[in-house]
Amino acid sequence: MLYLVPTPVGNLKDITLRALEVLQEVDLILAEDTRTSGKLLQHYNIQKPVTPYHQHNEHKVLRHLVDQLLTGRKMAIITDAGTPGISDPAFLLVRECVRNDIRVECLPGATAFVPALVNSGLPTQRFAFEGFLPLKKGRHTLLTQLSEDERTLIFYESPVRLVKTLADFIQYFGADRPCSVSRELTKLFEENARGTLQEVHDHFQQKGVKGEIVIIVAGKP
């Protein structure tokens, strides 16, 4: 059995009772960053073996983990924040589990883009989650395609690239396109900056940026 267990995107209280039960019951916890996850596990007094599972080692350890699961071991995979597999490692292991008839169960829970979308004030009926944009190759092509998309668009971005990405959006989508940028969701200094792309760009260019970022952009009118 492989469990995909969402972890809080900020506030440590944003974890389900079932998630805590699963983490207490499994034989092994796979963690994107053992130091980050260690704080959560220590907070809830969860004392289980933890091993790294991230984008740099997932190909290397994949077969070994599948072999262990086939012997009947129960594992949970967690990431630094949010739901495994959403712009985070998990896909490769889940795919191999499905191919090997290993049961996979994903618990409901925190995903950063959902609260960012819902509190943006932009339409939620139809949306496209794009995650992190390509840094170079394919970026121009993708942004050109998305400029014609009528759905609400959702992106993840790092604080150091936020201003540049907003400038790119102004170039491709237009300065007056409505948007919302959420950072530090569920934490003490949570911020949701709403306005046009130009207004939000200028806001963050002046004040600087910290924390995890979700960008919501209105679709083409």
Tens of pLDDT, residues 14-31: 999 999 999 999 999 999
Tens of pLDDT, residues 108-126: 999 999 999 999 999 999 9
pLDDT at site 23: 98
Q: What is the mean pLDDT of residues 163-189?
A: 97
CATH number for region 113-217:
3.30.950.10
How far is 31 from 78, CA to CA, in rounded Å? 5
26: Cα separation from own chain's centroid: 23
How far is 168 from 191, CA to CA, in rounded Å? 22
Residue intervals in the chain for CATH 3.40.1010.10? 2-106
C-beta atoms surrounding 217 within 10 Å: 26
Reported pTM: 0.92
31: exposed, middle or buried (C-beta count within 10 Å: 0-12, 13-18, 19+)? buried
Residue intervals in the chain for CATH 3.30.950.10? 113-217
Of the pLDDT bands very low, low, confident and very high (cuts 50, 70, 90), residue 208 is confident
Compute the Cα dihedral for 5, 11, 16, 21 and give only its sign.
positive
Q: Say what percent of the chain tops pLDDT 90.
A: 96
| pLDDT higher than 90, residue 147 | yes
Tens of pLDDT, residues 45-101: 999 999 999 999 999 999 999 999 999 999 999 999 999 999 999 999 999 999 999
pLDDT at site 207: 84
In CATH, which of 3.40.50.1100, 3.30.499.10, 3.40.720.10, 3.40.1010.10 is domain 2-106? 3.40.1010.10
